[in-house]
Amino acid sequence: MTALDETGAGTDLRRDILTTLLPGFAGAEVPSWLLRRLADGLGGVCVFGPNIRSMEQLRAMSTALRTANPLAIVAIDEEGGDVTRLFYDRGAPYPGNAVLGRVDDPELTARVARTVGEALLATGCTVTFAPDIDVNSNPDNPVIGVRSFGADPELVARHADAWTRGLQETGIAASAKHFPGHGDTATDSHLALPVVDVPLETLRERELVPFRAAIAAGTRTIMTSHILLPQLDADNPATLSPRILQGLLRGELGFDGVIVSDALDMRGASGTHGIPEAAVRALAAGCDLLCIGTDNTDAQLDELVAAVGHAIASGRLPAERVRDAARRVRELGATAPPVSELPVLPPSIEPERDGRELARVIAAFEVTDAARARLARSARIGTVVRIDTVANIAVGVAPWGPFAAEALAGDPSWLREAEVVTVSAERELAGPSALAGTVLVVGKDLHRHPFARAAIEALRTVRDDVVTIDLGWPSNDRAFADVATFGASRLLGEAVVEFVAALLAATPATPATPATPAQPATPSPQSVAEVP
């Protein structure tokens, strides 16, 4: 039996190496090899949407994992919006960060975070990789967008504080991400290495403001980003950079919690070196807990342990760095609420639907006067053009927007009565003039996809009854977003269903005027506050 100290740290260095690793696994059953690795000291497991069949099954899974290693981290990407794992089969019942930022009520943000924490507590998870506190300064960002609270650093900081405090009141540990900020990119780090070529002073005035707030709020962990900041470190992305993690995060910002790497299977981290070498470099840079990926295997863990062990033996990686990382991970695991003390799972872990808060969500939409007029003069929606874009890997294939809402709704609505035409990069829009009107175009980040822009332009050229609803982060000029919702969670889908239904039922005050394809003016969010 390996001797243990007060935090469970083994004298066996191999056990400490294992403690720094956080793999995923395939399927909804915990593999026997994973339970064996946990008993040997594996730091924990990251749970993804395909691992979850039900909340009861997730709790049983968490119990098995934490029984095998009582200090194990059971982590999950539950951001409470477009990125959801608890509700991967039906979309999240929360507004998401961008809407919370637009409402700008920190108490509402804290309340949503507490609700997320209570749901995680009921399922035996211990850490969620949230909140996303990137300042989304680039509207073409393909991976952050509505996951961010907004483009203003001070606003993001207010909500970083509220979300972190609200979540951690439940005992679930937060993980502010993606340090030092992934908002000013036009590249997805899952697929390539983004470059943010700005000076440190710009980071201090923009990207680092929310991280200072999250640290002040007591965030237990911070997740790194796989982005290159050449004016800080021209050779290494942040996850692999001692200057950024030890110098900036530990030194200047004073963070003393657990530094978690974003997934090392992302090309921004391992595209050049491979995952085992990326793991060595991430530990050397200052990461304590290494997210490995999704469908990992026992053999992959052997490769990782061997690579780290070889780096220690050759002098490239100090053994004390690994021991320190393992100590931090175990101390984090030791503070998690024990499974045996968790409350009995309720019949549903979803928050009760609050009509007043739904109205606040609708009031946060941006809506043009022309769109309101077109819907108000219509008796029904004839056609819904569904724009299917490829979701980034963080979002995955969870149901989204009104299509998620309608999949669970029992009452018929305008969406059930309309013809739905799907357009994608592989399927172009045919016969735009022959579609039954009024035509509602529904998609996410419409301006970023050439095929989506082409479909909208084709419709606008031949029709005056087209309304576009963008459930992503719209372009600055809003040229392809008559209605911008700033989120595509199921709750946002319910809000869209109610918003459209209310306008269809309204009586226009003035005779309808044919719409033109000119770029619309954008009214303030309060302009739709009268819509229930």
Same domain, 374 and 331: no
Whole-angstrom distance, CA of residue 243 vs CA of residue 195: 16
Look at residue 329 and tell me if it is in a domain. yes
> What is residue 176's predicted lDDT score, i.e. its pLDDT?
98
Q: Look up residue 105 and give its amino acid.
A: D
Q: What is the number of other CB atoms lying within 10 angstroms of the CB of residue 216?
A: 15
Same domain, 281 and 373: no
Look at residue 211 and tell me if it is in a domain. yes
Residue 343 has pLDDT above 70, yes or no: no
- Per residue in 323-342, pLDDT tens? 999 999 999 999 999 875 66
Same domain, 361 and 446: yes
The active-site residue out of 182, 190, 226, 447 is 190
φ/ψ of residue 128, rounded to 5: -120, 140
CB 220 within 8 A of CB 258: yes
What mean pLDDT is predicted for residues 255-284?
88
Same domain, 324 and 360: no
Residue 410 has pLDDT above 90, yes or no: no
Number of compact structural domains in the chain = 2
Task: Provide, rounded to the nearest whole percent, the portion of the chain with pLDDT above 90.
Answer: 78
Mean pLDDT (the chain) is 90
Look at residue 249 and tell me if it is in a domain. yes
The domain that holds 153 is classified in CATH as 3.20.20.300
Look at residue 8 and tell me if it is in a domain. no
Name the more confident of 339 and 53. Answer: 53
The active-site residue out of 262, 388, 465, 482 is 262
What b/e readout covers 491-527, taking b as 16+ CB neighbours within 10 angstroms? bbbbbbbbbbbbbbeeeeeeeeeebeeeebebeebeb
What mean pLDDT is predicted for residues 106-112?
97
Look at residue 348 and tell me if it is in a domain. no
Name the more confident of 38 and 185. Answer: 38
- Model confidence at 14, pLDDT cuts 50, 70, 90, reads very high
Query: Do the strands 439-443 and 483-484 form a parallel or antiparallel pair, or are they unpaired?
Result: unpaired
C-alpha closest to that of 184 among 162, 199, 171: 199
Establish whether 190 is a catalytic residue: yes
Look at residue 370 and tell me if it is in a domain. yes
> What is residue 342's predicted lDDT score, i.e. its pLDDT?
64
Q: Which of 204-208, 346-350, 484-488, 504-508 has the lowest mean pLDDT?
A: 346-350
Residue 268 has pLDDT above 90, yes or no: no
* Two structure tokens written together for 468: 């576009």
Task: Provide, rounded to the nearest whole percent, the portion of the chain with pLDDT above 70.
Answer: 89
Look at residue 422 and tell me if it is in a domain. yes
Whole-angstrom distance, CA of residue 199 vs CA of residue 52: 42
Angle (CA) 113 114 118, round 5°: 120
Establish whether 182 is a catalytic residue: no
Whole-angstrom distance, CA of residue 404 vs CA of residue 418: 16
Same domain, 378 and 488: yes
CB 455 within 8 A of CB 426: no
The domain that holds 419 is classified in CATH as 3.40.50
Same domain, 337 and 469: no
* Two structure tokens written together for 248: 């900036």
Same domain, 463 and 332: no
Range of the domain at 493: 355-528
Contacts of 294 (CB under 8 A, 6+ apart): 24, 26, 46, 48, 50, 263, 265
Single pTM value for the model: 0.91
Residue where a domain stops, chosen among 319, 341, 363:
341
> What is residue 184's predicted lDDT score, i.e. its pLDDT?
86
